[in-house]
Amino acid sequence: MAAAPPSPPRPPAQPTARRGHPPPPRASPWPTAASCSWRCCPSSSGPCAPCAVPAARMPQICQRPLPVVMLLDFLSSLAAHSWASTSSLNPIMNKFFPANFPNKQYQLLFTQGSGENKEEIVNYEFDSKDLVCLTLSSIIGVWYLLRKHWIANNLFGLAFSLNGVELLHLNNVSTGCILLGGLFVYDIFWVFGTNVMVTVAKSFEAPIKLVFPQDLLEKGLEADNFAMLGLGDIVIPGIFIALLLRFDISLKKNTHTYFYTSFVAYIFGLGLTIFIMHVFKHAQPALLYLVPACIGFPLLVALAKGEVTEMFSYEETNEKEKESARECKEGAPPSSSSSSSETEKKEQ
């Protein structure tokens, strides 16, 4: 059945006002609760609350058949959730596959054109283990989309967080401190200054947060009273902690001092956030406590070890940039040095 917005009723002819009597009220051209469909108001949790627009100006999405819209939304959400959880499950599931598992290689290839004009659009290689992980992820995705269970929500939230920490990189500590400092102010303003952040977190049903049931002992897995932690409070400090891990490796001391320090600092800041939230019974900006802890603890360790200069001078570059910088210092262009090295190898 189509969910097309109803056209506004044509106002009837208004009789002229008699002397001594006020004119009768005119019919409003705006949709009423009886004629407006809530499906045309996706930002509303109640029926027809924000539908104060003429039906002719309502979004075009409302004029499409509702089953088609729901199917497209379901498939796109399932694909996104499955991709995120598959990439996170792969390293874990590889430890459980037996040695004699028949692992076959596959390739998904899409090209455009033919002959010399053929252009590669998609070239994705995967194996049988990836297909097993994709199947498990799809089952969890269907479970979440049908039930919206908090366990499935947390599984996808953790998968998105791991992918975010893996894909986003900081190249030096100064950039990380500036990023965390800016989001520190941002989080405080949007939580304490307005109620936008809390309203969106409570009303938006998507795995953009981790939820922790507060009535788990009373209702079990059917708990419905949750405390929430946004994924940004995991990913943003996470990419800074990952940077400190790479800094530990660059020191070549076979220790992960700064990584463990920042990891403990994150746990401390998160515990402090929960404690303050329970004491004051009010939503708290997690970055208010996480940022000082994640920056302050490693900085104190660097001061104690005398490695503050090394920490802030550390900068991460890829191997190509390192090689080109080394060749520029030697005074030879990259092409000539590479060609000369190739000729020396051929002569040998």
At residue 27, what are phi and psi to the nearest 5 degrees?
Answer: -70, 135
Under 8 Å between Cβ of 107 and 124: yes
Judge whether 233 counts as a catalytic residue: yes
Integer Cα distance of 151 and 115 in angstroms? 50
Helix (H, G, I), strand (E, B) or coil at 47: coil
Look up tokens 């943003």; give the residue.
236
DSSP bridge pairs for 174: none
Q: How many helices (H) and strands (E) in the chain?
A: 12, 4
Sign of CA dihedral 136, 141, 147, 151: positive
Task: Considering the candidates 130, 224, 233, 248, report the single residue annotated as catalytic.
Answer: 233
The answer to whether residue 187 is catalytic is: yes
DSSP output for 164-230: HHHH---SBHHHHHHHHHHHHHHHHIIIII-SHHHHHHHH--SSSEEEEESSHHHHGGG---EEEEE
Q: Out of 130, 187, 224, 248, which one is annotated catalytic?
A: 187
Catalytic residues: 187, 233
